[in-house]
Homo-oligomer: A and B are copies of this chain.
Amino acid sequence: SRCGVPEVIYGPGKRPDQIVEAFELLARSQQPALATRLTPDQAEALLMAFPAATVNSLARTVSLGSLPRHERTVCVVTAGTSDRPVAEEAAETARWLGAPVELICDVGVAGPQRLLAELPRLRQAAVVVVVAGMEAALPSAVAGWVAVPVIAVPTSVGYGANFGGLAAVLSMLNSCAANVTVVNIDAGFKGGYVAGLIARPHEPMRAGN
């Protein structure tokens, strides 16, 4: 564990048995485990070895245990249906860090009433993760309604002049809202991780850690 948070296993390029082994190492030392960007084969191997593990096939994650649960909610919001897998990855990561997660889907700016209807749920959160592709207008729109940090996750969803998510990430970096901060394109894991850290009760480390 690095500084109190266990390592997370990144799937791409690893053999299924390597990932199972990594889980075993963590299990043996009583630590919660999380693996992301898994192929179906990798996920199945983990589930065979750890029948108690939680699989989220949309998120492409498998987790085993989690950090201690707390009360401060992470809200994950998506603009469109294609942004869902990235949002699920964020949600799984935040849950694994101990946070209760609220998922609010398909409230893109082109249908503005839908976001208005979700404001009560949105405003309960200690931090909001907004997942959006194309023009990525949603983080600014959400940020205008809350007084907590908004973690914007750009996605590569779209075509043409989105240039693989470039349009979305530039848009989010230029948000006119002061409470918006940004992670890499399609980085649901990072969005959920930072949100999870923000939400969880914090105690400063001592020099000895």
Binding site for B on A (CB under 8 A): 2-5, 8, 12-13, 72-73, 79-82, 108-112, 119-120, 123-127, 134-138, 140-141, 143-149, 151, 154, 156, 158-187, 189-190, 193-194, 197-198, 202, 204-207, 209
CA distance A193 to B176 in the complex (A): 13
Complex contact A170–B173 (CB within 8 A): no
Q: Would A170 and B174 be within 8 Å (CB), given that A120-B207, A147-B205, A179-B193 are in contact?
A: no
Closest chain-B Cβ to A184's Cβ sits at a distance in Å of 4
Chain B's closest residue to A205 (CB) is B123
Closest Cβ neighbor of A156 among chain B residues: B160
CB of B184 within 8 A of CB of A159, answer: yes
Residues of chain B within 8 A (CB-CB) of A12 are 82
Question: Given A72-B202, A178-B189, A202-B72: A2 and B147 within 8 A (CB)?
Answer: yes
A112 touches B141 (CB 8 A): yes
Q: Is the interface of A mostly helix, strand, loop or mixed?
A: loop
State the Cβ distance, A11 to closest chain B Cβ, in Å: 12
13 A-B Cβ contacts within 8 A?
A: A2-B147, A108-B140, A109-B137, A109-B140, A135-B140, A137-B138, A137-B175, A148-B197, A156-B160, A160-B184, A163-B164, A169-B173, A173-B185
Taking a contact as CB atoms closer than 8 A, the residue among B4, B156, B174 that contacts A162 in the complex is B174
| Cβ–Cβ contact B123 & A171, under 8 A | no
Min CB distance, A70 to chain B, in Å?
Answer: 12
Instruction: Give bound CA distance, A170 to B3, whole Å.
Output: 26
Q: How far is the CA of A2 from the CA of B127 in the complex (A)?
A: 16
Contact in complex: B134, A160 (CB < 8 Å): no
C-alpha gap A174/B198 in the complex (Å): 20
Whether the pair A160, B173 counts as a contact (CB closer than 8 A) is: yes
Most chain B CB atoms below 10 A, which of A110, A127, A158, A183:
A110
In the bound complex, do residue A171 and residue B137 qualify as a contact, i.e. CB atoms below 8 Å apart?
A: yes
